[in-house]
Amino acid sequence: MTRAKPGRAGTAGRKSLRLAFVGWGAIARTAAGLLTGAPVEIVAVATRGRSDLVDPPETARLITDPGELTDIAPQVVAEAAGRESVAEWGPAALECGADFIVSSVSALADADVLTSLRSIAIGQGAQIHIQPGALAGVEALAAARSLGLETVEHRISKPPPAWLGTPAETLCNLDKLDKPYEFFSANAAETATKFPKNANVAMTTALAGVGPDQTKITLVADPAATANCHRITAHGAFGDLDVTISNNPLPANPKTSAMAALSLVRAIQNRTSAIVI
């Protein structure tokens, strides 16, 4: 008799995957809506406060303390709550044997956080899944790493208003630009630390490829842009990679790319699907 692996939903009998969300903002709510009909049971929603939740799932227990995950026993915990939540909820998720899906990848620019989570995951036999968010081509980049990568560059171009409220305001005059302007260039670790929301995916590219210190990130304010654009280029023994994606905003939150929620849905669906791509 074939049995499902511990921590995974079995296809026999279509047993539901026990899923907990950390955060219940636009990304989590969109993902939950798109998972309707899938063999997934949302058993918990974790937030800092319970009064601001919009239509939480009837099946979900609302929690504010990471320690509560132990009694709930989710198989997967999906984070979609911001950088600080990764270090807060990740250890508890992994300690109770759940796999941890990370959306706020900029948190892993902190080497101590990354090292700690990796150590717990290894000790518990669990996985940390960095979902690609708004990016395309991450799987190819990670595959190419096996044969050796020489260079990886990631260019992030957004309309000037998208950079408001960030250090970009002190690096250029966002209101006066009449052509694309490269206002910041650094490695992925520095970029994700200084622009944790707007360049969150810089660490995704870094961890898939040559690491935070060797991955070059360039930030651009483009007055002609109507969408957020990511271009990843890489060179190595495999050949050359050049992938560009232009993201439309998530209707529930125009500051977030729709692909961020769609990639989270795919990461969860892959835990229950008979065929995984």
Residue 35 clears pLDDT 80, i.e. is over it = yes
Single out the residue of 43, 41, 79 nearest to residue 63, CA to CA.
Answer: 43
Residue 4 clears pLDDT 80, i.e. is over it = no
Q: What is the pLDDT of residues 24-33, one digit of tens each?
A: 999 999 999 9
DSSP states of 35-68 as a string? TTTSSEEEEEEE-S-STT-SS--TTPEEE--GGG
Q: What is the pLDDT of residues 154-206, one digit of tens each?
A: 999 999 999 999 999 999 999 999 999 999 999 999 999 999 988 999 999 99
pLDDT band at 52 (very low <50, low <70, confident <90, very high): low
C-alpha to C-alpha distances, 144 to 13, 97, 204, 244, 255, nearest whole angstrom: 37, 30, 15, 17, 31
Q: What is the pLDDT of residue 29?
A: 96
pLDDT band at 15 (very low <50, low <70, confident <90, very high): confident
Residue range 104-118: mean pLDDT, rounded: 96
Q: What is the pLDDT of residues 201-219, one digit of tens each?
A: 999 999 999 999 999 999 9
As annotated, the active-site residues are 230
Distance, in Å, from the CA atom of 50 to the CA atom of 152, rounded to the nearest integer, reads 42
Q: What is the pLDDT of residues 120-153, one digit of tens each?
A: 999 999 999 999 999 999 999 999 999 999 999 9
Q: What is the pLDDT of residue 63?
A: 95
Residue with the larger pLDDT of the pair 124 and 253? 124
Q: What is the pLDDT of residues 53-78, one digit of tens each?
A: 788 899 999 999 999 999 999 999 99
Query: Could you give the percent of the chain with pLDDT greater than 90?
Result: 87
Single out the residue of 79, 70, 77 nearest to residue 24, CA to CA.
Answer: 79
Residue 148 contacts residue 236 (beta carbons within 8 Å): yes
Q: What is the pLDDT of residue 147?
A: 97
Residue range 8-20: mean pLDDT, rounded: 70
Distance, in Å, from the CA atom of 131 to the CA atom of 136, rounded to the nearest integer, reads 11
Does the global pTM surpass 0.75? yes
Q: What is the pLDDT of residue 232?
A: 98
Q: What is the pLDDT of residue 13?
A: 53
CB neighbourhood size of 255 (10 A): 13
Q: Which residues pair with 240 in a beta bridge?
A: 235
Q: What is the pLDDT of residue 12?
A: 46
Structure tokens at 115: 């090292």
Sheet architecture: strand order including 181-187: 181-187, 216-221, 149-158, 228-236, 239-247
Q: Per residue in 84-123, is it b (16+ CB within 10 Å) or e — as a string?
A: ebbbbbbbbbbbbbbbbbbbbbbbbbbeebbeebeebbee
pLDDT band at 256 (very low <50, low <70, confident <90, very high): confident
Q: Which residues pair with 69 in a beta bridge?
A: none
pLDDT band at 51 (very low <50, low <70, confident <90, very high): low
Single out the residue of 50, 88, 51 nearest to residue 67, CA to CA.
Answer: 88
Structure tokens at 63: 């929690």
Average pLDDT, the chain: 92
Structure tokens at 56: 């939480």
Domains of the chain and any CATH numbers:
12-130 (3.40.50.720), 138-252 (3.30.360.10)
